[in-house]
Structure formats: structure tokens, C-alpha cells
Amino acid sequence: MRSNPAYIAETDGIIVRVRPSYLAAQSDPEGGRWVWAYKVEIENRGERTVQLVARHWTITDARGRVEEVRGQGVVGEQPVIGPGDRYAYASGCPLGTPSGSMVGTYYFKDETGRDHEAAIPAFSLDVPDVRRVLN
């Protein structure tokens, strides 16, 4: 069994790792619906405690259609991540095409009230063993 690749970005001591995986059992290709899960790990290698307060995702399908998603926190939480600590969660994304990509930004406040942004690495959503199409 293949391990899903990790996509990694680091911004000012905040490391974001994302591992996407295709959910065949929840997808309906004949109905035009493909679903992916993605696991995210956020590691704070900085010197200050931070709280993840908001997120912004840009989701692009194989036809070039773009969806912007903005919201408070992640999966209903606004986690506080101390220096040396990690926070992980899982979420999902449906698409109307068999491939696409996601990229984004997390917004944090540190313990002094200062705002920080951390890049979410761009990652590919591809059905396994299907010919890849450039997005």
C-alpha cells in the first residue's frame, strides 16, 4: 500500500503538513462527485503560543473553477498551540472533477495579540491510478 505524500510549508516557525487521500467509497464518479479527505498537522516551532483564529482556502477543480472558503478556526475549533506543540485535524473536500488542488492560509494571534499568517501548502487532489490532468 502506498503512503500518501505529505505537502509541507513553513512560515515563521509554524509548520503545516497536509496529507490528502481519495475517498472512493464516498465518491460517485458516474454522478460527477469525487471526494477527498485531508489530514492536517500544525506544529509551532516558534517562541510564542499562538491561537488559530481563521482560515482561507482556495479550491480549484480540473476545469479551472475556483471556490474560496473562509471561516473561523478549523473543524469548529480555534486551537491554542504552544511552542513545541502540535495540533492535528481531518476534514474533506468534494469536487465535480476527478482532480483538483487546494492551497490556503491560516490566521493566528500570538499571546501578545499580534496577528500572524501561515501558508497552507498547495496540494493535489488526484484519483489514484488515473491519468493526471494539469490543473
**What is 71-130 written as a DSSP string?**
EESBTTB--EE-TT-EEEEEEEEEESSSEEEEEEEEEEEETTS-EEEEEEEEEEEE-TTS
Tell me how many domains the chain contains: 1
Query: pLDDT tens-digit profile of 99-122?
Result: 999 999 999 999 999 999 999 999
User: Which grid coordinates belong to 110?
Assistant: 500570538
Residue 119 CB partners (closer than 8 Å, separation 6+): 9, 11, 16, 104, 105
In a domain, 88, yes or no: yes
In a domain, 71, yes or no: yes
Among 121, 128, 114, 135, smallest CA distance to 34 is for 128
In a domain, 1, yes or no: no
Among 105, 114, 110, 48, smallest CA distance to 74 is for 105
Query: pLDDT tens-digit profile of 65-98?
Result: 999 999 999 999 999 999 999 999 999 999 999 9
In a domain, 110, yes or no: yes
Q: Do 36 and 22 touch, CB atoms closer than 8 A?
A: yes
- How confident is the model over 115-133, as a mean pLDDT? 86
Res. 131: pLDDT tops 50: yes
In a domain, 27, yes or no: yes
Q: What is the pLDDT of residue 24?
A: 96
Query: pLDDT tens-digit profile of 5-40?
Result: 799 999 999 999 999 999 999 999 999 999 999 999
Res. 133: pLDDT tops 90: no
CB atoms within 10 A of CB 32: 11
The domain of 104 spans: 7-126
Q: Do 127 and 23 touch, CB atoms closer than 8 A?
A: no
In a domain, 133, yes or no: no
Q: What is the pLDDT of residue 128?
A: 85
In a domain, 13, yes or no: yes
| CATH code for the domain in which residue 105 is found | 2.60.40.1470
- pTM reported for the whole predicted model: 0.91
